[in-house]
Amino acid sequence: MSAVGRGFLPRIRFRRAAAPVITHHPVVGILGVLLGAIISTLTARITAFGLADIRGAIGAGFDEGSWITTTYTVAQMLVAPAAAFLGVVFGPRRVLLVSSLTYGVAAAALPLTGTLSGVLACQALAGLSSGTFVPLTIGFIVRNLPPQYLVYGIAIYAMNIELSLNISASIEGWIIETLSWHWIFWDTALLAPLMWICVWFGMPREPVNRAMLKDADWWGILYASIGFALLYAALDQGNRLDWLNSGLVTGLLLAGGLLVAAFVVQELTCPKPWITFGVIFRGNIPILCLLLIVLRLVMLSTAFLIPQYLITVHNYRALDVGDTLLLIALPQFLLAPLIGTLLRWVDARVTMAIGFTAVGMACFLASHLTADWIGGNFLASQMLQAFGQSFAMTSLIFFNIKNLSPAHILTLGALMQTMRLLGGELGAAFMQTFVRVREQFHSFTLGMNVEAGDPTTLGRLAGTTARLAARSADHAQAAERATALLGGTVRQQAYVLAYIDGFVVIGWVIIGGLVLIALLRPAPKA
């Protein structure tokens, strides 16, 4: 076993418990864990798109209602570091049976509470439950698929994440147009029983590893879980509360940072640490963790930029935004088997680089947008991005697996979930703040060129006033409306320039990712 393979795990105590166990119905079990991955991502995205409808239904204000989405994802982060430990001690089957049942009950009950406190409580329970889904998915796929089909299972897993990320707007829009806000939660609640049935019949029963419960590094798990959860909450609320100008955000960052520091000290001094840092920082693992953060940052940033451009500049509804994002989602059905086949013969670092390059090209292509662009104008960049993200995500997961021994594969899921959540939140927080700051900058610089008394400005205002005169009470009202329209045009153009800046920045982040890929060494031979 390679040194890299002994990394992110409680030394050799995982070895026996993590041995592969092939079920009689592995396909059914894999369907169950893939459903879990879909539920986990879909819930977060649909809730984000439907947040305004949820707030209105329960009478919550903008500030307090913003905690509805934060509570769910913070709860996921809280359980992410411990997910692999729970899976090894109790077996993935027991954990997922309890989690899927709990999630289904929480999601079904949430719309019936009718109050913000009830919604937050159900969101916390749903997040803690679904937070175990993704970490245990990869482990089960690796341990229960024959080697020749493993890469196809990984490709399907990556495809599911892409689909969930990009079909959410369409689903939320259709729900609000056709049904009611309750179905924002009930749609995934209906998937939970199906997941439970698949897990029951498709996953093997494994004995409880009671020895690990006695020797567990509980303090290390506790420090990591709470520390990362607090940092995530700070990132999620930072843009709304103006970052370090908010005492709450500052407190969350300090508390989270101190707990993460305590976690590091605990692992360095504990006789039986949960994580051996001397091993985790060897080989490709640190670079792969950074690449996963970069890729999730890029995916969530671009998933923010296009919808917000369409909503802000062209007043698109969620259903209209969803039609554009489907351009990324639908090609996944064709790309998954193609990537799976390629990875059987081509070095994963090559396909990873191809994927990152395609995403970078898509970002630079989208940076040529103007205020006249609508959903269809993003077709070329969206198709290129769909191709790139599928190649990059599948190759990155596959190369991660090749750098770990099978005995430690369960922990890869927990590591991926932690990096996935952090990377995604870093991307969303960064891009929200970046666009806000750049819009303010461009509004100021554009406004400086629209000077009162300037002949060009006066001419435009006069022409607009003349056109509005027939639909106004008097000349003064027409002039006031003309001034408001000019201000709106300036703001619109400022937003367009801010979104252009966003695409350019993400393109340069991708270039940084390509540099990291160039530093990767060949995976250890099995």
pLDDT of 333 strictly over 90: no
Question: Which of these ranges, 68-82, 103-117, 136-150, has the smallest mean pLDDT?
Answer: 136-150
* DSSP letter string, 277-337: HHHHTSTTHHHHHHHHHHHHHHHHHHHHHHHHHHHHHH---HHHHHHHHHHHHTTHHHHHH
Which range has highest mean pLDDT (58-67, 79-88, 142-151, 418-427)? 58-67
Average pLDDT over residues 325-343: 82
Q: Give the pLDDT score at 16.
A: 39
Q: How far apart are CA 19 and CA 503, in angstroms?
A: 44
321 in Cβ contact with 311 (< 8 Å): yes
pLDDT bucket at 185, cuts 50 / 70 / 90: very high
Q: Which residues of 60-87 are buried (b: 16+ CB within 10 A; e: fewer)?
A: beeeebbbbbbbbbbbbbbbbbbbbbbb
pLDDT bucket at 514, cuts 50 / 70 / 90: very high
Average pLDDT over residues 492-513: 94
Q: What angle do CA 379, 385, 388 make, to 5 degrees?
A: 145
**Sign of the CA dihedral running 257, 258, 260, 265:** positive
Indicate the SS3 state at residue 522.
coil
pLDDT of 152 strictly over 50: yes
Q: Give the pLDDT score at 468.
A: 60
Q: Give the pLDDT score at 495.
A: 92
Helices (H) and strands (E) in the chain, counts: 21, 0
Provide φ and ψ at 49, rounded to 5°.
-70, -30
* Nearest C-alpha neighbor of 129 from the set 109, 158, 100, 160: 100
Fold of 24-207: Growth Hormone; Chain: A; (1.20.1250)
Per cent of the chain over pLDDT 90 is 45
Indicate the SS3 state at residue 468.
helix
Higher-confidence residue of 168 and 277: namely 168
Identity at 65, one-letter amino acid code: G
**Residue 414 buriedness (CB in 10 A; 0-12 / 13-18 / 19+):** buried
Q: For residue range 222-255, what is the model confidence (pLDDT) as tens digits?
A: 999 999 999 999 999 999 999 999 999 999 999 9
Average pLDDT of the residues of the chain: 84
Higher-confidence residue of 379 and 43: namely 43
Q: How far apart are CA 414 and CA 419, in angstroms?
A: 9
Q: How far apart are CA 425 and CA 419, in angstroms?
A: 10
Q: Give the pLDDT score at 20.
A: 47
**Sign of the CA dihedral running 102, 108, 112, 115:** positive
Q: Give the pLDDT score at 55.
A: 94
**Which tokens sit at 271?**
């006789």
Q: Give the pLDDT score at 155.
A: 86
Q: Which residue has the tokens 């390059």?
A: 357
Q: Give the pLDDT score at 407.
A: 58
pLDDT bucket at 68, cuts 50 / 70 / 90: very high
Q: For residue range 437-453, what is the model confidence (pLDDT) as tens digits?
A: 999 999 888 877 665 55
Q: Give the pLDDT score at 462.
A: 61
* Nearest C-alpha neighbor of 427 from the set 333, 237, 298: 298
Q: How far apart are CA 394 and CA 158, in angstroms?
A: 6
86 in Cβ contact with 133 (< 8 Å): no
Q: How far apart are CA 484 and CA 517, in angstroms?
A: 50
Identity at 517, one-letter amino acid code: I
Q: Give the pLDDT score at 354.
A: 96
Higher-confidence residue of 410 and 116: namely 116
Delimit the domains of the chain by residue range.
24-207
Identity at 487, one-letter amino acid code: G
Q: Give the pLDDT score at 17.
A: 39
pLDDT bucket at 459, cuts 50 / 70 / 90: low
Q: How far apart are CA 358 and CA 350, in angstroms?
A: 12
Average pLDDT over residues 339-362: 94
Residues in the chain: 526
**What H or E segment, with its residue span, contains residue 158?**
helix 147-178
Average pLDDT over residues 459-472: 63
Q: Give the pLDDT score at 228.
A: 94
pLDDT of 19 strictly over 50: no
* Nearest C-alpha neighbor of 33 from the set 194, 146, 244, 243: 194
* End-to-end Cα, the chain, rounded Å: 8
Q: How far apart are CA 320 and CA 208, in angstroms?
A: 49
Q: Give the pLDDT score at 373.
A: 92
Q: Which residue has the tokens 């690796």?
A: 142
* DSSP letter string, 411-448: HHHHHHHHHHHHHHHHHHHHHHHHHHHHHHHHHHHHHH
Average pLDDT over residues 382-397: 90
